Amino acid sequence: MSDPLFEFLCRMGDNTLVLGHRVSEWCGVAPVLEEDIALANTALDLIGQTTLWLNLAGEVEGAGRDADALAFRRDVREFRNLLLVEQPNGDFGRTIMRQFLFDAWHRACLSALCESTHDGIAAIAEKSLKEVTYHLERASDTVIGLGDGTDESHARMQTALDRLWPFVGEMFTGDDVDKAMTSAGIAPDPASLRPAFDEKVTDVLTNATLTPPESDFAHRGGKTGKRHSEHLGHLLTQMQWLQRAYPDATW
Amino acid sequence: MQNEWPLWEVFIRGQHGLSHRHVGSLHAADAEGAIKNARDVYTRRNEGVSIWVVEARQIAASSPGDKGPFYEPANDKVYRHPGFFDIPDDAGAM
């Protein structure tokens, strides 16, 4: 295992990078202009957070890599993002449900990271938390609006929830990296974030008249990098094509 | 069209002490959604500290066709402007 702090920072940065890229795929094609701009704002917030996380990761690694090098020069097996964020956008409802589930975890995680013993991490968390609080509020309202909406929007949101629920468990599954972070007071035990997540998600889903699946089966392998879904590689071919085709291009 | 969200007019206050100014309009399902959309559409570059939204159909407006009777009578009444007084120098800028 490489330096656990480097691993942890890549996990944080890769989550926001991959989700930011996914959300940016809506730019210009969202159902209404207002949502198009709001999604682009969310994507930009996430990419901004990525820059902070991955630059810090590069500093910690000490091998001369910055955020750009980490984002554009790693291959799929070196990515450490959750499986949830690499899932394809699907319809608008599935994109919003993915955003909501991630935001609910992200907000709980960043709230805890504000108390980190690592000053750089606490500072990034504090800055990001303001943005993510808004993301969660917006996503929650939209989940409720669509879930408790028409027959069609309700059905689509329930389908999205059923499809994405198996990716929830990974967010709360710890490993040796997490143990190292927790014992150093750098980051919370992932399992400890579950009550705040459950409280928020139950509240919103109840208002949205949606029901989470009973099974808690969870796909794993994203944050450890052992087994990404097939979708991440395709995403990287889009996100990294310029560096792959024209390495070190400048203009 | 019944499937369209209603139209909302958006007013933003730039900084404390200034009044809200009309900046544009957008569609949203309800008032809270309109404020969130206004936040995303009109305050991305730190333009505002306060947002008002009002449903466009709630705004009563004067008619462009009434321009003559409404505004022209003011044109030839220069005495309504306080422009006929000598302002003493030590009064400073008015």
Is residue B1 predicted with pLDDT exceeding 70? Answer: no
Neighbours of A170 (CB within 10 A): 19
Reading chain A (251 residues) residue by residue, the pLDDT tens digits are 579 999 999 999 999 999 999 999 999 999 999 999 999 999 999 999 999 999 999 999 999 999 999 999 999 999 999 999 999 999 999 999 999 999 999 999 999 999 999 999 999 999 999 999 999 999 999 999 999 999 999 999 999 999 999 999 999 999 999 999 999 999 999 999 999 999 999 999 999 999 999 998 999 999 999 999 999 999 999 999 999 999 988 88
User: Which fold would CATH assign to domain B7-76?
Assistant: Ubiquitin-like (UB roll) (3.10.20)
A contacts of B37 (beta carbons < 8 Å): 34, 37-38
Residue bearing tokens 């569609």: B27
Helix then strand then coil, in percent of chain A rounded to 5, is: 70, 0, 30
- Could you count the other beta carbons within 10 Å of the beta carbon of residue A235? 21
User: Is 80 exceeded by the pLDDT of residue B3?
Assistant: no
Cβ-defined contact of A32 to B5 (cutoff 8 Å): yes
Does residue B33 sit at the A interface (CB-CB below 8 Å)?
yes
The answer to whether B51 and B35 are in contact (CB under 8 A) is yes
Q: Do A38 and B37 touch (CB under 8 A)?
A: yes
A contacts of B44 (beta carbons < 8 Å): 37, 41
pLDDT tens sequence across B58-78: 999 888 888 888 888 887 888
Closest CA to A192 of A98, A105, A116, A84: A105
Per-domain residue ranges of chain B:
7-76
- pLDDT value of position B94: 64
Angle, CA A14 vertex, CA A160 and CA A217 arms, to 5°: 40
pLDDT at B37 over 60: yes
Q: Which residue has the higher pLDDT, B16 or A51?
A: A51
Q: Which domains does chain A have, with CATH numbers?
A: 4-245 (1.20.1260.10)
Q: Which residues of B51-67 are buried (b: 16+ CB within 10 A; e: fewer)?
A: bbbeeeeeeeeeeeeee
